[in-house]
Structure 1
Amino acid sequence: MTTHVTGGISSRVAATPWAEVIDELNEYGSALTGPLLTAGECRAITALYDEPERFRTTVDMARHRFGRGQYRYFAYQLPDVVAQLREAFYPHLLSIARDWADKLGQPAPWPDALGEWLQMCRRAGQAKCAQILLRYGEGDWNALHRDVFGDMLFPLQVVIGLDTPGEDFTGGEFLMTEQRPRAQSRGSSTTLPQGHGLVFTTRDRPVISKRGWSVAPMRHGVSTVRSGRRHTLGLVFHEAA
């Protein structure tokens, strides 16, 4: 269940033990935050799913062979809490993104301000909102994938659990796989507590090897929901084409 949450959104995100998150991201490609939303805030976001005018499109995963279940992309203007969460996370994730780019010898095009970065995305032809509200029912699942919508890419994103595992639903663990060179892929699973976030890599992450830093391709998905209904909020830090 969601533990006690105080202060505004930015202070809650800032209260995340970022040193621990960075260590886990570097080791596994994902890391849980502390509580970000109250149970009431989670319910309010979940209720938005039944207000279709707030969304630009709805995706039926089975139709596209992405798995089974449904998700909706928000339209602009975002609900305040969603916009505040994305703004609050960006500076913390930016330092990690720049560190990873430096290790891999890759460009780091992301400016200090999220708004400036989103304008860069739009000028490059990626102008659609990529913030997602996902709904899974019994038997639903999400295939392993990457949320890459074009050349303008931010390497980290966040998913926030909106329901209570074990009470509102069972199953539905967040899955990640890491493709390793000349070896079998490594997998991990995480149960998302209500109101907590999971920071994870969008596409790949740096790993140390005998020859220095190299790229480890990553994919994420959701295991089969065995009972109940599971909702999550996805925060993506680049726009969609």
Structure 2
Amino acid sequence: MIDTTHPAGTVSDLVDATDWAALTEEVDGYGSALTGRLLTPAQCHELAGLYDENERFRSTVDMGRHRFGSGRYRYFTHDLPEPVGELRQAFYPHLLPIARDWAGRLGRPAPWPDRLEEWLGMCHEAGQSKSAQILLCYGAGDWNALHRDVFGDLIFPLQVVIGLDAPGTDYTGGEFLMTEQRPRAQSRGSATLLPQGHGLVFTTRDRPVASRRGWSAAPMRHGVSTVRSGRRRTLGLVFHDAG
């Protein structure tokens, strides 16, 4: 039996070892897909423990104050902890072909260069110079309203959330929610429990769907259901910076 509690290899190795063909097919069909385990429980606890280190973050958002949920999240500074920077670097080249393919199907520009650093430089030149990497913390009764993470005109169409606590052990409830707006029909929803150390790749704003006129964009939003007990912490990886 393979030991998934302590995955072998670096974070980059584990991202590279993902079955990207299968993941791409699932993201195409549903707008989201789980990876295998990328972080050990010890790595998850270490990252979650950074939440109280104020110097790590540029700002803190109280969701209740802004009336889009309950709970808090913090934006890292550009001086990212090593696992966060490594994860972001590792994911980008694998997500890039999906992003370009979607842009082609939807007839949109595909401005994303091969290197993440070059893309972030383009964001900064356009006035989007703030770090958008997020550490989120939900307690019992907290939730996140359905939304999109669009911080400016330059957008990368996919992002990743990584579970830092174990569902059913550290918390209950707190499913990752997605809704898809369908033309002339009711919206379709999905709920995913995020295993500790695993990532969920999901669309930032929409996904291409086949229609009688070719391809069209199906708007999608994401959020978190109410945490019923315990504490749920996650790492959010966004591939465009904020304005």
With the length of structure 1 as denominator, give the TM-score of the two structures. Answer: 0.99
The equivalent of 1:233 in structure 2 is: 235
The equivalent of 1:202 in structure 2 is: 204
Contact persistence 1:36–1:197 (CA under 8 A): yes
The equivalent of 1:18 in structure 2 is: 20
**CA distances 1:157-194 after superposition (whole Å, capped 9, x unpaired):** 00000000000000000000000011110000000000
With the length of structure 2 as denominator, give the TM-score of the two structures. Answer: 0.98
Structure 1 residue 82 and structure 2 residue 84: aligned?
Answer: yes
1:15 shift after superposition: 1.0
CA distance in 2, matches of 1:237, 1:146: 13
RMSD: 0.9
The equivalent of 1:110 in structure 2 is: 112
The equivalent of 2:187 in structure 1 is: 185
**Secondary structure, in 3 states, of the residue corresponding to 1:73?**
strand
Structure 2 gap segments, 5+ residues each: none
The one-letter code sitting in structure 1 at the alignment partner of 2:132 is A
Identity of aligned residues (%): 73
The equivalent of 1:70 in structure 2 is: 72
The equivalent of 2:10 in structure 1 is: 8
Contact persistence 1:138–1:229 (CA under 8 A): yes
**CA distances 1:90-114 after superposition (whole Å, capped 9, x unpaired):** 0000000000000011100000000
CA distance in 1, matches of 2:142, 2:4: 24
CA distance in 2, matches of 1:61, 1:83: 25
Q: CA 1:239 to 1:110, structure 2 compared with 1: closer, same or farther past 3 Å?
A: same
Contact persistence 1:2–1:195 (CA under 8 A): no
1:3 shift after superposition: 2.9
Contact persistence 1:2–1:39 (CA under 8 A): no
1:2 shift after superposition: 5.7
CA distance in 1, matches of 2:4, 2:209: 33
CA distance in 1, matches of 2:209, 2:54: 42
The one-letter code sitting in structure 1 at the alignment partner of 2:233 is H
CA distance in 2, matches of 1:48, 1:238: 22
1:13 shift after superposition: 0.2
The equivalent of 1:172 in structure 2 is: 174
